[in-house]
Amino acid sequence: MKILVAAKRVPDPNATIKVRPDGGGIVTDNVKYVVNPFCEIAIEEALRIKEKGGGAEVVLVSIGAKVASEQLRTGLAMGADRAILVLSDDEVEPYAVARVLQKLVDTEKPDLVLMGKQAIDDDSNVVGQMLAEMLGWAQATFASEVKLADDKKSAVVTREVDGGLEDIEVQLPAVVTADLRLNEPRYASLPGIMKARKKELKEMPIAELGVDLTPKVKIVSLAPPPKREAGKKVESVQELVKLLHNEAKVI
């Protein structure tokens, strides 16, 4: 069995992000980058499937500049077998990302594609759905549990939906996107980090894949959220009700 896992390089969610004065993007100087948390959960799930099923090949893929190899090495240190870095110095929109992944799926022929439900930098939450449509595969989004059948031909996926949880069965090959509660990613061990240095990390220019990278969305400007106003102390319930009615307009 082969599992392809998408892993995106994103700013550390614990870092303080500042918008550039021209509103054209964020200030990247001295910003720490990590594996997108949802992608890290997808990597962990692939590794658990490998360990439970008696063996599978876990292949990571990322799109970005050469520095993204650092995040792929993190996934390799966790236990993935090899990685592919599609080199691009420019930002790649979700539609183009899905097209790139489609090309790699055609080449790698995995039985399962796992990825985070969204990336924390743009929160698009569309790549998994678009990729499944392009491939003509089944899809299971917002997964909080994945159970593969013994014959590895289907999977039962528990999805997190507005009304609670939903169980669906999908035939493999399929695309599954990971939600926050799917698992708790492991830390890379020292032996894993040492082994990751020797694992294959293939680099390929994005131009080789023949994907149209023309932007379809134009970002006009970015702005930081407004600062929260200081809270108010009230002396009585009556005063609280008055504030909620007159200022907050909630009652």
Q: What are the extents of the domains in the chain?
A: 2-215
Residue from 62, 50, 9, 55 nearest 32 by CA? 9
Query: pLDDT-based confidence at 131, cuts 50/70/90?
Result: very high
Query: pLDDT-based confidence at 3, cuts 50/70/90?
Result: very high
Query: pLDDT-based confidence at 17, cuts 50/70/90?
Result: confident
Q: Can the peptide bond before residue 173 be classed as cis, meaning omega within 30 degrees of 0?
A: yes
177-193 mean pLDDT: 94
Q: Which of 108-122, 123-137, 216-230 has the lowest mean pLDDT?
A: 216-230
**Reduced 3-state DSSP string for 4-72:** EEECCEEECCCCCCCECCCCCCECCCCCCEEECHHHHHHHHHHHHHHHHCCCCEEEEEEEECHHHHHHH
For residue range 51-105, list pLDDT tens digits in order. 997 789 999 999 999 999 999 999 999 999 999 999 998 889 999 999 999 999 9
The topology (CATH level 3) of 2-215 is: Rossmann fold (3.40.50)
Average pLDDT, the chain: 92
For residue range 206-227, list pLDDT tens digits in order. 999 999 998 888 888 888 888 8
Return d(Cα 232, Cα 247) in angstroms, integer: 12
Return d(Cα 220, Cα 40) in angstroms, integer: 31
The residues facing 249 across adjacent strands are none
